[in-house]
Amino acid sequence: MPKRLTDLERYHRSIPEKHLQEQILDAARMFGWLAFHHHDSRRQVTGRGGEKIWVGDKDAKGFPDVCMVHPKHSIAFIEVKREQGRLEPEQVEWLDALIGAGIPAVVMRPSTWTEIMGFVKGGFPEVGELLGFR
């Protein structure tokens, strides 16, 4: 029998990635980070005739969603995922490379909101186990 979800688990699963990303960017900017969303290889725009045009950078496939820089907390990269979203191999490759280079790179999900706020307020020393993304 499938596990019955709690109200909180259902709530976390209902939050779209884009919404969480906007919340992270807003919170980061409020606490003094310069932060931006990097448009990845999937970005499309609508042409004048209503057609979809790919404008994303294919070389950026898997690159983390958010880059943040803070005068005290250095730099950090964030892959934002909906609660049940899975990391693509290219995303794991980028996170591995960044972490291997000593750069904080984390995965943030709706259920990690408390840790997200700790990170945004205090920088990477408070991010704890979020630094491990597997």
Contact footprint for Mg ion (CB under 5 A): 65, 80
Q: How far apart are CA 36 and CA 46, in angstroms?
A: 22
Closer of 39 and 70 to Mg ion (Cβ)? 39
Structure tokens at 112: 């990690």
Helix residue ranges, H only, 15-76: 17-30
Q: How far is the CB of 42 from Mg ion (least distance, A)?
A: 10
- Cβ distance to Mg ion smaller for residue 10 or 18: 18
Minimum CB distance to Mg ion, residue 44 (Å): 16
Residue closer to Mg ion, measured from CB, 65 or 104: 65
Pairwise CA distance, residues 127 & 58, whole Å: 30
